[in-house]
Amino acid sequence: MRSLLNSLAVLTGLLTSVAVAVHPVEVQGQDLIDTVTKKRFMIVGVDYQPGGQAGYKPQEGSDPLTNKSVCLRDAIMLQKLGANTIRVYNVDPTLNHDDCASIFNSAGIYMIIDVNGPQSGESINRAEPWTSYHKDYLKRIFGVVENFKNYPNTLAFFSANEVMNDMNTGKVNPQYIRAVQRDLKAYIKAHADRTIPVGYSAADVRDILQDTWAYMQCDNNGDGSESDIFGLNSYSWCGGDATFASAGYDTLVDMFQNSSVPVFFSEYGCNEVMPRVFDEVASLYSDKMAALSGGLVYEYSQEESNFGIAVINDNGTVSLRSDYDALQKQFNKLDVTKFTATGSKITPPKCDKKLITNDAFDSNFTIPAVCPGCQTLIKNGIDKPTNGKLVKVTDTKGPNKVYGSAGGEVSGLTLKLLSNDGVNGPSGETSSPAGQSSASSSAEGSGDKTGAASKLAGGWTLLAAGAVAALTVL
Ligand SMILES: *[C@@H]1O[C@H](CO)[C@@H](O)[C@H](O)[C@H]1NC(C)=O
Ligand SMILES: *[C@@H]1O[C@H](CO)[C@@H](O)[C@H](O)[C@H]1NC(C)=O
Ligand SMILES: *[C@@H]1O[C@H](CO)[C@@H](O)[C@H](O)[C@H]1NC(C)=O
Ligand SMILES: *[C@@H]1O[C@H](CO)[C@@H](O)[C@H](O)[C@H]1NC(C)=O
C-alpha cells in the first residue's frame, strides 16, 4: 500500500510538473551515468561564451546566461547541431539564470559551469595562490553552486581552468586547486539535494599533463579534495591529415585507460588548419577511446581567437560558419544509442610523491587548511544566496534570423521542447541551406520534417517504454 501511494505521488508529480527536466547525471567509476535510464552519458558538447570573456558584465547585470532571447537563439542552433552539453566559463552568482537554464534544459542540453570569474578575486591567482584562497573567494564560488544547484541540467562544476600551464605554475597551485575542490564538494554535500561532480579542466601541456592528472585524481587519505571528473583542453588533432597516432590520442588513451573518474575533452577543435573538418569526432567517440566520455568543441561563437562555429552579428542575427556544417555532419554520423558504459570502477592510487614524475612539479600532498572563517561558511551556507529554479519555457520561436554558411536563411528556427525528459542528440539535419538554394536543396536544408524527429524519437524509445510500464503497473 505504502509503495502504491508512493507510486501515485510520483505519478501525480510527473503529470503536474510544469517543466520537463533532463535527468541528473552522476559519476559511477569511469562513467557518467544518467540516473534514470542508467545508461552512459557521453558529452557531445560545445563551449559557450558569446562575447568571449567580455560577455561577462556583472556591472551591467549580464553574463552569457542572463539574456533569454540570446539563449533561445543559440539553444536552437546548438540543438540542431546535435549538442547535449554546453560549458559556460564566467557567470555572476547574484544574477538570475532561470530563463536560460530552463531553455537549455527543455532543449535537452546540460551545462558545465566554471565557478570562477575573470575579475580580481574571482579565481585562484596562479602566481601567488595563497593570496587568493580566502573567505571572499569562497563566497563567490559557493554562490555559483547555490545559483546552479537546483537546475537538473547542471552537469558539473569546474573548480579551475588551466591554472597549471607550465612547470612553474605546477609547483604549488595543485594543492590549492585541491583545497578549493575539497571546499566545493563539502559545500555541495551540505547544501545541495543531489551530488554534482566537481573537477579540474587541464591544459594539454604534455610536460605536465601526466603529473597534473596524477595529482588531481589520487586519494589523499579520503579528504575529498580529489577531482570527481577530469577535463582536458585538447588541441593536438589539427586538420584533415591528422590521425589518432599523429594527434597523440594513443598516449591520451594510455594515460586515461585506468582513470578512476570520468575524463573528457573540456575543449577541443584545433584551428591551425581552417576551415575545420572535425575528423577527431569519429575518433573521440570510437571504441578505441571508450575510456573518455566525449568532449566539448571550442567554441560556439566566433571571437578574436578564431575558434567559432558561428558568428554573432551586431544586429543579433547569427551567421553559421562552415565549421558548424562540418561539426554537424560529424555529430550526425554518431550513433548515440550505441554508447555503453565501461563499467570500470578503479580504485584511485593513494597520493604519494612517487606518482609525480617531474621533480619540479608539486608533490606536496599537505592540502592547505580550510581558510579562516570558511568552515562556518561551509556549514551554515552563504548569506542570501540567489537560488535558481526551472521556469516554464513558452517562447520557442527563434527571435533572430540565422544565415547558413552560404548566406541563405536557415529555416525551422524553433526550439524543440523535448518530451519524456529527453536528452538532445544529433538529428540528421543539415542546417545551412546549400548555395543559391533550389527547391530540392532547401527541402534538404530544413531537416526538421524528416531526419530530426525520427532519429530523436529513436533515442527515447526506452524512456517512453519505461513510462508506459510505470502506468501499466499502476
Ligand atoms: C538581449 O539581447 C538582445 C540582442 O543582443 C538585445 O537586443 C536585448 O536588449 C537584450 N535584452 C536584455 C534584457 O538585455
Ligand atoms: C591499467 O590497468 C591494467 C590492469 O590493471 C594494467 O595491466 C595496465 O598496465 C594499466 N595501464 C596503465 C597505463 O597504467
Ligand atoms: C544583420 O547583419 C548581417 C551581417 O552584417 C547582415 O548580413 C544581415 O543582412 C543583417 N540582417 C538583418 C535582418 O538586419
Ligand atoms: C606543503 O604544503 C603545506 C601547505 O599546504 C605547507 O604548509 C608546507 O610547508 C608544504 N611543505 C613543503 C615541504 O613545502
Per-residue pLDDT tens for 217-257? 999 999 999 999 999 999 999 999 999 999 999 999 999 99
Report whether pLDDT(176) > 70. Answer: yes
Looking at residues 293-299, what average pLDDT do you find?
A: 98
Q: Is the pLDDT of residue 2 over 50?
A: no
> Residue 436: which pLDDT band, with cuts at 50, 70 and 90?
low
What's the pLDDT at 420?
Answer: 73
Residue 460's pLDDT band, with cuts at 50, 70 and 90, is very low
**162 included as an active-site residue:** yes
d(CA 35, CA 41): 10
**346: which DSSP letter?**
P
pLDDT at residue 465 tops 70: no
Domains and CATH numbers, the chain: 2-473 (3.20.20.80)
Measured CA to CA, the distance from residue 286 to residue 393 in angstroms comes to 35
What is the rounded CA–CA span in Å between residue 174 and residue 212? 7
In which band, very low, low, confident or very high, does the pLDDT at 19 lie, cut at 50, 70 and 90?
low
- 231, 199 Cβ separation under 8 angstroms: yes
Determine the distance separating the centroid of ligand 1 and the alpha carbon of 69, expressed in angstroms.
7
Give yes or no for residue 67 CB within 6 A of ligand 1.
Answer: yes
Cell numbers representing residue 269 in the block: 577543435
Across the chain, mean pLDDT equals: 89
> For ligand 4, is residue 225 a contact (CB within 6 Å)?
no
pLDDT, residue 399, reads 98
Take atom 13 of ligand 4 and give the residue whose Cα is closest: 364
Q: How confident is the model at residue 369 (pLDDT cuts 50, 70, 90)?
A: very high
Which listed residue (26, 162, 280, 299) is catalytic? 162
Contact (Cβ atoms closer than 8 angstroms) between residue 423 and residue 440: no
- How far apart, in whole angstroms, are the C-alpha atoms of residue 296 and residue 300? 10
Mean pLDDT of 63-86: 98
Strand-pairing partners, residue 350, are 219
**CA nearest neighbour of 146 among 114, 199, 191:** 191
- 94 CA distance to ligand 1 middle (Å): 19
Q: Left if phi > 0, otherwise alpha if psi is -120 to 50, otherwise beta: which for 7?
A: alpha
Using the mean position of ligand 4's atoms as its centre, give its distance from the Cα of residue 170 in Å.
Answer: 14
Q: How far apart are CA 414 and CA 428, in angstroms?
A: 16
Helix then strand then coil, in percent of the chain rounded to 5, is 35, 15, 50
Ligand 4 site, residue 306, Cβ cutoff 6 A? no
Query: What are the tens digits of pLDDT across the range 309-344?
Result: 999 999 999 999 999 999 999 999 999 888 999 999
Which of 267, 280, 299, 429 is catalytic? The answer is 267
Q: At what angle do helices 135-148 and 173-191 cross, to 10 degrees?
A: 50
| Closest C-alpha to ligand 4, atom 12 | 364
Note the pLDDT of residue 21.
86
Q: How far is the CA of 370 from the centre of ligand 4 (A)?
A: 14
Under 8 Å between Cβ of 108 and 58: no
User: What count of residues does the chain have?
Assistant: 474
